[in-house]
Amino acid sequence: MITNQREPKQASAITRAKNSTPSDRQFDPQDLERVRRGFIAARTEPVITDTQGRKVIDTGAYEFLRDGRECPETVNPHLWRHATLNAHHGLFEVAPNVWQVRGYDISNITFIKGATGWVVIDPLTADSTAQASLELLSQHVERRPVTAVIYTHSHADHFGGVLGVTTQADVESGRCQIIAPVGFLHEAIAENVIAGVAMSRRATYQFGPLLLPGPQGHVDSGLGNSVPTAAPSLLAPTRDITHTGEELVVDGVRIVFQLTPETEAPAEMNFFFPDFGWLCMAENCSHTMHNLVPIRGALVRNALNWSKYINESIELFADKTDVLFTSHNWPRWGRQDVRDFLTLQRDLYRWIHDQTMRHANHGMTALEIAELLVLPDEFLAHEHTRGFYGDLVHNIKAVYQRYLSWYDGNPANLNKLSPSRVGAKYLELAGGIDALLDSAQKSFVAGEYRWVVELVNHAVFAEPTNQRARNLQADALEQLGYQSESATFRNAFLMGAQELRNGPPPRTAARVRARSLIKAMTIDQVFDILGVRTISENLGGVSLAINWLFTDMTGTPDEKWILGVSNRTLYATQGRHSEFASATVKLSRDLFLEVIAQTTTFVDELKNGTIAIDGDATAMLTIFSNLDNFSNGFAIVEP
């Protein structure tokens, strides 16, 4: 956390005028009723801590959203309204035998009363928030064992608190089953493996955990109030859902599943409770436009398929659904309301997809399309199709990227100069940094904040220590943040302003976030990570292979691997050994993953005798002594 921060500034006159303009404010009065419906109790202690006593979440920091004040000048009025709804927290009865705990994590945890225990849907991001939610339910409804956990999809805020509601022993003994869509385990790890360090750093801009809560800082995350500051855990599924229409009876409760791959997550599913008329739409529907690619980074999502799967949900379930609940925000009740909600959500993603590609096929670029398209009145009239989390501007670019890549077809943009080099050229063109900043200052006074950000960015990258440039860039970013309807855009703009004024957070060695995630990784994924860390310039002329035998893996084909160096790259081959290998390494898979987690080293374990090497031990050290180390806290808004 940055200390001795410079204070944020107030809204400019232009921002105040924009945020006070009532032209398109259309708030659904029923949303407040939906948020409050079924409320039973809230936690009396606002702070949730982990087992070491460290603060994980603090609902008390967001009392400014619950004290009835008018929308401040520093927050977009639509985002303010959405944030005040997300700020409701506690235990809610959704339907007879269905409860949700909301507001203690960015996601919701849902409890279904089974024949003998609780069926838990999406156990949040952190063990401590999930455990606190289960305890709240136990206090006010009933204390029962957890007999099943359902992961709706492969994002960490929907499985990361699993050890807060069950144990490894209960799962291994069969007392608790874990159900997930096919491919869940691979996707849960894969999305954060190759780009994990960069994605984690960029996520601080998306979710704004380093911003102080308040009207000039963090107010919301779009999908929920805020993200807990704790590492996720993970238990592997014991049952995969493999096809739409698959039906299970889970602790006496009948559930029909709908697979929806490559929608909001690569592995995701909706499901319906046919005996009760309950429909869980996972994160495929929320009370906000979602991201087609998050600004933290990820694979671009398939907007066309997303819309088609919602349409399939309508066809399969809408006429039989009395209550719809999701993994974020709040439920909907009544068959007509459910159908209307699903129809608008379906049409939103289809409209973004179709209109982006219509204009792309006229030759327009992503930037041009994003400047042209605005949400039609049909979507602006409903809050759940507005961009509180995703943003139309970013989603248009995501659709374009999925089909046509980042490149807009103009050769001038095919091999552009780096930001620092082009920045120096802009300063030369402007007649020096003072002349550039004088022009930018005039634009700032005129309220042309987007232009100021673009122009002054060149100055910051050319002369990063120039305080005038940094301050002006921060001021412009801050005003864009205050005006943003999207919580993620607001967080990104305000994080940029904060780091320009105070510098980035201290750089610390990057680690995989949780040992339980490491232990769920496949050997193939581990070798992929090693390839990304390989310092190729140190491996010129090196060609070697090492055989690996993992002693605690089941299944003969998976026990043997070859890891080799060829043309300065690593390659891995599964299922056999090479007769030309320089060495054969024998160890347990668990110990190998401890080494990868950097809790021990190969050298130490060789000394301890827990690793056996037959052959040239220096061959293995050739690889592992030439691995790069990453750190968090790298610069984003400066070189």
* DSSP of 206-225: HH-TTSPBSTTSB---SSSS
Question: What is the percent of the chain where pLDDT is above 90?
Answer: 88
Return the amino acid letter for 299: L
Contacts of 539 (CB under 8 A, 6+ apart): 565, 568, 622, 626
Starting at the edge strand found earlier in the chain, the sheet holding 583-587 runs 569-574, 560-566, 544-550, 583-587, 612-615
Q: Provide the token pair at 260.
A: 């929806």
- Residue ranges of alpha helices (H) inside 21-161 are 29-36, 77-86, 127-140
Closest C-alpha to 606, from 623, 585, 627: 585
User: 102 by DSSP, 3-state: which?
Assistant: strand
Q: Where residue 1 falls among pLDDT bands split at 50, 70, 90?
A: very low
Q: What is the mean pLDDT of residues 432-440?
A: 98
Residue 55 bridge partners (DSSP): 49
Return the amino acid letter for 63: E
- Higher-pLDDT residue of 389, 556: 389
What letter would DSSP give residue 47?
Answer: E
**Residue 231: how many CB atoms within 10 A of its CB?**
18
- Higher-pLDDT residue of 578, 552: 578
Q: Where residue 553 falls among pLDDT bands split at 50, 70, 90?
A: low
Q: Where residue 377 falls among pLDDT bands split at 50, 70, 90?
A: very high
Is the pLDDT at 253 greater than 60? The verdict is yes
Res 405: pLDDT: 97
Closest C-alpha to 321, from 260, 254, 274: 274
In tens, the pLDDT along 494-507 reads: 999 999 999 999 88
Q: What is the mean pLDDT of residues 571-582?
A: 96
Phi, psi values for residue 140, rounded to 5°: -110, -10
The DSSP string of 469-536 is: HHHHHHHHHHHHHHH-SSHHHHHHHHHHHHHHHH-PPPPEE---S-HHHHHT--HHHHHHHHHHHB-G
Q: Where residue 25 falls among pLDDT bands split at 50, 70, 90?
A: low
Q: Are 403 and 352 in contact (CB under 8 A)?
A: no
Q: Provide the token pair at 513.
A: 């976030």
For the chain, the 3-state helix, strand and coil shares in percent, each to the nearest 5, are: 40, 15, 40
Helix axes 449-462, 467-483, angle to 10 degrees: 150
Q: Are 466 and 433 in contact (CB under 8 A)?
A: yes
Q: Are 245 and 257 in contact (CB under 8 A)?
A: yes
CA pair distance 476, 5, nearest whole angstrom: 18
Question: What is the percent of the chain where pLDDT is above 70?
Answer: 97
Token pair 């904060």 is found at: 498
Res 621: pLDDT: 86
What letter would DSSP give residue 153?
Answer: B
Res 5: pLDDT: 58
In tens, the pLDDT along 437-454 reads: 999 999 999 999 999 999
Res 365: pLDDT: 98
Res 2: pLDDT: 40
Is the pLDDT at 199 greater than 60? The verdict is yes
CA pair distance 20, 10, nearest whole angstrom: 14
CA pair distance 367, 116, nearest whole angstrom: 55
107-111, 314-318, 524-528, 553-557: which has the minimum mean pLDDT?
Answer: 553-557
Res 488: pLDDT: 98
Beta strands in 233-336 (DSSP E): 239-241, 247-250, 253-259, 269-273, 278-280, 323-325, 332-333
Domain 522-624 in CATH: superfamily? SCP2 sterol-binding domain (3.30.1050.10)
Res 514: pLDDT: 65
Res 268: pLDDT: 98
Whether the CA torsion 581, 583, 584, 587 is positive or negative: it is: negative
Res 606: pLDDT: 85
Q: What is the mean pLDDT of residues 286-306?
A: 97
Closest C-alpha to 632, from 504, 515, 543, 544: 504
Res 26: pLDDT: 67
**Residue 58: how many CB atoms within 10 A of its CB?**
16
CA pair distance 291, 302, nearest whole angstrom: 11
Q: Are 333 and 526 in contact (CB under 8 A)?
A: no
- Indicate the burial class of 50 (C-beta count within 10 angstroms; 0-12, 13-18, 19 or more): middle
Q: Provide the token pair at 463.
A: 């002369």
Q: What is the mean pLDDT of residues 601-606?
A: 87
Is the pLDDT at 512 greater than 70? The verdict is no
Is the pLDDT at 602 greater than 90? The verdict is no
Closest C-alpha to 526, from 576, 586, 591, 577: 591
CA pair distance 560, 553, nearest whole angstrom: 10
CA pair distance 42, 34, nearest whole angstrom: 16
CA pair distance 223, 553, nearest whole angstrom: 39
Residues of the chain with CATH 3.30.1050.10: 522-624
1-5, 19-23, 81-85, 299-303: which has the minimum mean pLDDT?
Answer: 1-5
CA pair distance 539, 547, nearest whole angstrom: 19
Q: Are 457 and 473 in contact (CB under 8 A)?
A: yes
Token pair 């974020």 is found at: 328
Q: Where residue 554 falls among pLDDT bands split at 50, 70, 90?
A: low
13-22, 248-257, 273-282, 359-368: which has the minimum mean pLDDT?
Answer: 13-22
Beta strands in 72-231 (DSSP E): 90-95, 98-102, 109-113, 118-121, 146-150, 177-181
Q: Provide the token pair at 562.
A: 């070859």
Question: Buried b / exposed e across 623-633, counting CB within 10 Å, b at 16+?
Answer: beebeeebebe
- Higher-pLDDT residue of 4, 190: 190
CATH 3.90.1150.10 fits 13-19+32-402, yes or no: no
Is the pLDDT at 558 greater than 70? The verdict is no
Token pair 């374009």 is found at: 400
Is the pLDDT at 158 greater than 70? The verdict is yes
CA pair distance 484, 488, nearest whole angstrom: 9
Residues of the chain with CATH 3.60.15.30: 13-19+32-402
Q: Where residue 612 falls among pLDDT bands split at 50, 70, 90?
A: very high
137-151, 236-250, 486-500, 539-553: which has the minimum mean pLDDT?
Answer: 539-553
The per-residue pLDDT of the chain, averaged, comes to: 94
Res 3: pLDDT: 42
In tens, the pLDDT along 516-537 reads: 788 888 899 999 999 999 999 9
Beta strands in 327-464 (DSSP E): 332-333
Q: What is the mean pLDDT of residues 278-284?
A: 98
Token pair 């000048």 is found at: 73
Rounded to whole angstroms, the maximal C-alpha distance in the chain is 76
